[in-house]
Structure 1
């Protein structure tokens, strides 16, 4: 992969200083892109109203707040995906191990009742999230914005630190959601990985390993859905990270961003074209992901999929996360065109009622 200069005059998106508290002294959320993590979400200080402008009950304020955290770790031989979620009615988690060469995926999942057997971090700057059972354990520790990932499941023994390049900025933003809610999301891709990683008791060298995380929380829509694409890769140009989404977090600003060797480029809106419905046994078809201004033009060819369908009356989830390869190009905010050729990454199609 190499960068070639092409004509490009984009409107460069900017970010503001991250506030200490996401909720201001009037009880309102602060919106926009930030240049780093917000220290305190301060959800307890949020003045939450119902559709008829009356203060929401404490019951509604508690159950309408959702959060989830996800980490993807990419080695030369494996992809590890691990998530923790608190939807108030229950806590859930999953972990999968994908063997790239064999195109084989194994997975495990957890589902815990209301507030029992799991915890989540209330801050993207400092805190811990974990879940544990006979299936194993998953733990995320955040200290001064630095993520530590500890896994003991599926033959994975990991104690890893996710470290950004010097001066590299995450994508951190807050948008209005629905009629009176808000969503904070923070993502950082193409991070260096330090620590120890064993898979089936075999030590994995970390020199060619990269990772990304997602921290999202807020008063989200009761029914929501999104399409998502993510890359954590080491290429001839260096470390390459990508986060693209549609269907969520698009009221005011969006979460689309490209990192090259730690340099962050905020991107405009993108479209996802793919076929959701298919005949049983039919191979998933190629996706197209693109922007109207020509800055993003990608195809994605699925190779494998982690999927789950839940229909539990109050909550529903139709989840598909695909592993596969991207081809095409991305043009950064300096006008440099970056071709992608068979770059491994993820896409996701998700509907949730929570």
Structure 2
């Protein structure tokens, strides 16, 4: 098994550089300023794109997952310009049931997105469904208010380096992705007025934005859990950021380790079948057993989405840079399979 240790670039102050193009690379920290007004965007025939194209081709989504001792909370807000969507669900491992709420609204109705992963606020509201995500240089703050469950939570991100990268996407676009897993959580989470235990809860976030492919798809794996008594986080993905860069990393006791490209093997026709997830250099060799699936299928002309997010259990082997082998056994986590035309 070979070691995968990519070279990190210093995170730029501004995403868009003096030449009108993004700074590409795998960064050593978050990029705070998304000065998109300076981006020189061209169409597929190398002509300067008009204002409508600049607006509708830009996509953004934010996601938070928090794993507790016997539950998992997942929350998402997505702005795809033609529409915005979001969901929040709370899954119980004891009962194998989830309480799920979601919205799909036209245009920007009821939706506001933040300017960057460390400066701004994203909101989504419709009737009794309210979600807000506030980003700062030191933490992410999540507020949820639905009829059944409520949350006022803080994810502390300042203590570790995130996975942060910007890569070319398609012929003329780019995607910035920032993720961090195994983060400490504080605050309050209530289900039907009863507080849930946060003492061992760990969280991860995902901020992704850019001029993405009109048709795209991805497979994704995520873990926030205690392994051998230490905070362990994993993010692996295939399908979006793979133009010379990949968005794969683990966090072990506060330290990030970048991982080689990921391979996902699974059966779309069988939601109960296990997934096999591995890395090119062999650092990760995991099996994922699905327990619950949140699924949406939308096909309305301009837009289409075939989305499946699974809650389940991971078992297998992860190897650290120093050769230490971590054996995972029934560790709680997520997996996702998604096609989008947007």
Smaller-chain TM-score bracket? over 0.9
Q: Which has the higher contact order (CA 8 A, sep 6+)?
A: 1
Return the alpha-carbon distance in structure 2 between the equivalents of residues 299 and 77 of structure 1.
20
TM-score of the aligned structures, taking structure 1 as reference length: 0.94
Which residue of 17, 20, 35 maps to 1:27?
20
The structure 1 segments of at least 4 consecutive aligned residues displaced by more than 3 Å after TM superposition are none
Equivalence for 1:5: none
- Tell me the equivalent position of 1:284: 272
Matches within 5 A, 1:1-354: 9-164=2-157, 166=159, 168-278=160-270, 283-354=271-342
Query: What is the distance in 2 between the residues matched to 1:308 and 1:343?
Result: 25
Residues of 2 paired with 1:237 and 1:14: CA distance?
A: 30
Q: Once the 2 structures are TM-superposed, how far is the Cα of residue 353 of structure 1 from its aligned partner? A: 0.2
TM-score using structure 2 length: 0.97
Could you give the per-residue CA deviations for residues 213-260 of structure 1, whole angstroms, max 9, x where no partner exists? Answer: 000000000000000000010222410000000111111111000001
Contact 2:139 2:158 in 1 (8 A): no
The answer to whether the Cα contact below 8 Å between 2:4 and 2:258 also exists between their aligned partners in 1 is no
- Residues in 1 aligned to 2:322 and 2:214: alpha-carbon distance in whole angstroms: 39
Superposed displacement of residue 165, structure 1: 6.8
Residue 106 of structure 1: CA displacement?
A: 2.1
Answer whether contact 1:164 1:262 (CA < 8 A) is retained.
no
Deviation at 1:154, TM superposition (A): 5.0
Q: Is the 8 A contact 1:165 1:262 kept in 2?
A: no
Instruction: Return closer, same or farther for 1:154/1:169 CA change in 2, 3 Å cut-off.
Output: farther
Q: Measure, in 2, the Cα distance between the counterparts of 1:11 and 1:37.
A: 22
> How far off its partner does 1:35 sit?
1.3
Distance 1:165 1:86, change over 3 A: closer
Structure 1: distance between partners of 2:283 and 2:12: 30
Task: Determine the C-alpha separation between the residues in 1 that align with 2:261 and 2:137.
Answer: 31
Shift of 1:195: 1.3
Q: Which runs of 5+ in 1 are unaligned?
A: 1-7
Contact 1:162 1:191 in 2 (8 A): yes
Q: Which stretch of the first structure deviates more once superposed, 332-341 or 48-57?
A: 332-341
- 1:66-122 per-position Cα deviation (integer Å, ceiling 9, x unaligned): 000000011112111110000001111111110111000121111222122110001
Give the aligned CA root-mean-square deviation in angstroms: 1.3
Q: Distance in 2 between matches of 1:310 and 1:229?
A: 23
In the TM superposition, residue 9 of structure 1 has moved relative to its aligned partner by: 4.8
* 8 Å contact kept, 1:108–1:135: no
* CA apart distance, 1:153: 1.5
Q: Is the 8 A contact 1:273 1:289 kept in 2?
A: yes
